[in-house]
Structure 1
């Protein structure tokens, strides 16, 4: 149903602008809250470690009076710098070179997937230059590859949705069925991309418990890549090159599953909040309507209520579009909503 209300001259695009400002304020508040929580949790442990390091230095100087404090500080600066570049100064570390083929393949995968652990970085100027060019070409290629894989995985995901609709369509609304479908996809992601790999890493990595391994998997698949936990870098790690290659395959597979989950999530109109903060609706841009893949017909916004302005000569009219049954998402079998006749009030 369409209502045309004459005489309204207010700019309806100001509302999304205010919403965006509210979102910016909420994001700033969220960041401030996170900073405060991290400070309260981590600062005491940092102080404890600083005290332990200072005590160890003083004990070393007492046991070796011939070594001055300045000489020890100079040695520590060299060790810390080498460690930040991925080179360990520990005598008992025999992990092999950082730039073997397996290690290099692992590094290349962290570059093109934008994970970027940072534990190993190019040291030479040609290496840094090649890394920039390699990332410039590799990141778009990786996105294309992941998109193609997600497109193929959407076929069985859609078949599952249709099966759920065939069995439960007469009992539940389409939106409820889509939530069940999303829950199944999320459960598969958690089990096969987080829980099972975390169990494997906990068994293979010395010093990692299950929480550490789960933390590594989550930080990696979300492309945060803090670099505090790196698989295969423990001393005397057997089959290190093969281990690195398999870890690379896991990262690519996990990122594909994560993108599939996000695609299924954003395909549910009620859960896609991007339209709330957008001043341009899908029905205003046919190309965006086609790329959105929401299956909605032109003239119907995701939120169920769309306002836009039409001009007829010098007269401006505000149009309110109401989508029937706004509480339901499109049916998996037929995503076309029931059309109501346009009603114009002049």
Structure 2
């Protein structure tokens, strides 16, 4: 018999409206908190830059009395408008065209991966129409490609989990082993797709320090794509097309490994917060449990149809591991992480 205390997870699952309202209030509070923090941090710097620009403009007008304030404002408006559309007025010719093949390939990758930096945009009506049609087909195609790559990467990731479980299964609980496995995957993501690429970008970009480069890698791989830092846009950047193509491949492989990390994370029921607000509990819906590949939470700890329970035999005090397999065949499951010494106990 399960007793549900007022205000706990069980009440949220039984009241979808209350659950949705709680999520909305939490999201609103999070947005308000973020707005206040950004306002406090960035507001003074914005005012300082604005004062500096006004001072420079007045100095320019005083030194060039033949230039009126209106003419200068008109020129600045055109420069800003062109800059917002990806055309820089600062030594733009020496930097190369925005729509070379390398630049265009980089732009195409930011469209289909939904990063969308916004630093370069289609200027013509035909380009805007093609961009919409291109994204409409390219985004689903990219998701299919990333899913296929993640599926292949799951093979060595699962093999690593099996090795960890075989080596540590007699010492630690399955949840602990899953955390070790997740930690290894996250470490690989941070080192090979954030720290090392950030060092490379800091070395190649003259105006970036290491924090700027790390910030760019994080914003890009999380598909935020603010567009304030774009690799290869320095006017005298050597081998700019090759640089853009290499960055395109980095983004694709980085997004793939990020999806792998999220897959491993959400495969741990104890860390999957979506189950807290789920209106249907997995242990009450066998079909959903089978399709999701998640084990039943409760006395046992399981993932992918693997349920590990801490039952103790009163005679030998040994831990028993029960492997519940939903299939009728005897072929090993790819998610079978049961230790070798515990595979003698199976329930079919």
| SS of alignment partner, residue 15 of structure 2 | helix
Query: What do the CA deviations read for 1:245-266 (whole angstroms, capped 9, x no partner)?
Result: 0000000000000000000000
- In the alignment, the residues of structure 2 paired with residue 289 and residue 154 of structure 1 have an alpha-carbon distance, to the nearest angstrom, of 20
- In the alignment, the residues of structure 1 paired with residue 124 and residue 288 of structure 2 have an alpha-carbon distance, to the nearest angstrom, of 44
Deviation at 1:19, TM superposition (A): 2.7
Deviation at 1:335, TM superposition (A): 4.0
Distance 1:13 1:97, change over 3 A: same
- In the alignment, the residues of structure 2 paired with residue 142 and residue 273 of structure 1 have an alpha-carbon distance, to the nearest angstrom, of 27
Q: Is the 8 A contact 1:324 1:339 kept in 2?
A: no
Query: What do the CA deviations read for 1:27-52 (whole angstroms, capped 9, x no partner)?
Result: 11111011000000000000000000
Q: How many residues align?
A: 306
Deviation at 1:282, TM superposition (A): 3.5
Deviation at 1:20, TM superposition (A): 2.7
Q: Is the 8 A contact 1:221 1:258 kept in 2?
A: yes
Deviation at 1:17, TM superposition (A): 3.4
- In the alignment, the residues of structure 2 paired with residue 49 and residue 259 of structure 1 have an alpha-carbon distance, to the nearest angstrom, of 39
The one of 319, 324, 330 aligned to 2:299: 324
Deviation at 1:324, TM superposition (A): 2.9
Deviation at 1:291, TM superposition (A): 3.5
- In the alignment, the residues of structure 2 paired with residue 271 and residue 16 of structure 1 have an alpha-carbon distance, to the nearest angstrom, of 21
1:251 alignment counterpart: 251
* 1:35-114 correspondence to structure 2 within 5 Å: 35-91=35-91, 94-114=94-114
1:7 alignment counterpart: none
Q: Is the 8 A contact 1:17 1:279 kept in 2?
A: no
- In the alignment, the residues of structure 1 paired with residue 160 and residue 41 of structure 2 have an alpha-carbon distance, to the nearest angstrom, of 43
- In the alignment, the residues of structure 2 paired with residue 334 and residue 270 of structure 1 have an alpha-carbon distance, to the nearest angstrom, of 14
Q: Is the 8 A contact 1:93 1:236 kept in 2?
A: no
1:150 alignment counterpart: 150
* 1:126-165 correspondence to structure 2 within 5 Å: 126-165=126-165
| SS of alignment partner, residue 94 of structure 1 | helix
- In the alignment, the residues of structure 2 paired with residue 90 and residue 28 of structure 1 have an alpha-carbon distance, to the nearest angstrom, of 41
2:6 alignment counterpart: none
| SS of alignment partner, residue 289 of structure 2 | helix
- In the alignment, the residues of structure 2 paired with residue 333 and residue 27 of structure 1 have an alpha-carbon distance, to the nearest angstrom, of 33
Query: What do the CA deviations read for 1:164-189 (whole angstroms, capped 9, x no partner)?
Result: 01111111000000000000000000
Distance 1:197 1:145, change over 3 A: same
- TM-score with structure 2 length normalisation? 0.83
Query: What do the CA deviations read for 1:60-102 (whole angstroms, capped 9, x no partner)?
Result: 0000101111111111111100111111112475111000000
Distance 1:293 1:333, change over 3 A: closer
1:311 alignment counterpart: none
Structure scoring higher RCO (CA < 8 A, sep ≥ 6) equals 1
- In the alignment, the residues of structure 2 paired with residue 198 and residue 116 of structure 1 have an alpha-carbon distance, to the nearest angstrom, of 20
1:320 alignment counterpart: none
Q: Is the 8 A contact 1:146 1:256 kept in 2?
A: yes
User: Unaligned regions of 5+ residues in structure 2, if any?
Assistant: 4-9, 310-321, 325-348
* 1:18-29 correspondence to structure 2 within 5 Å: 18-29=18-29
Distance 1:242 1:92, change over 3 A: closer
- In the alignment, the residues of structure 2 paired with residue 292 and residue 15 of structure 1 have an alpha-carbon distance, to the nearest angstrom, of 23
- In the alignment, the residues of structure 1 paired with residue 223 and residue 94 of structure 2 have an alpha-carbon distance, to the nearest angstrom, of 29
- In the alignment, the residues of structure 2 paired with residue 66 and residue 115 of structure 1 have an alpha-carbon distance, to the nearest angstrom, of 45
Q: Is the 8 A contact 1:162 1:333 kept in 2?
A: no
Distance 1:191 1:13, change over 3 A: closer
Q: Is the 8 A contact 2:12 2:19 kept in 1?
A: no
Distance 1:92 1:129, change over 3 A: closer
Q: Is the 8 A contact 2:114 2:139 kept in 1?
A: yes
CA RMSD between the two structures: 2.3
2:206 alignment counterpart: 206
Farther-moved stretch of structure 1 (87-96 vs 132-141) = 87-96
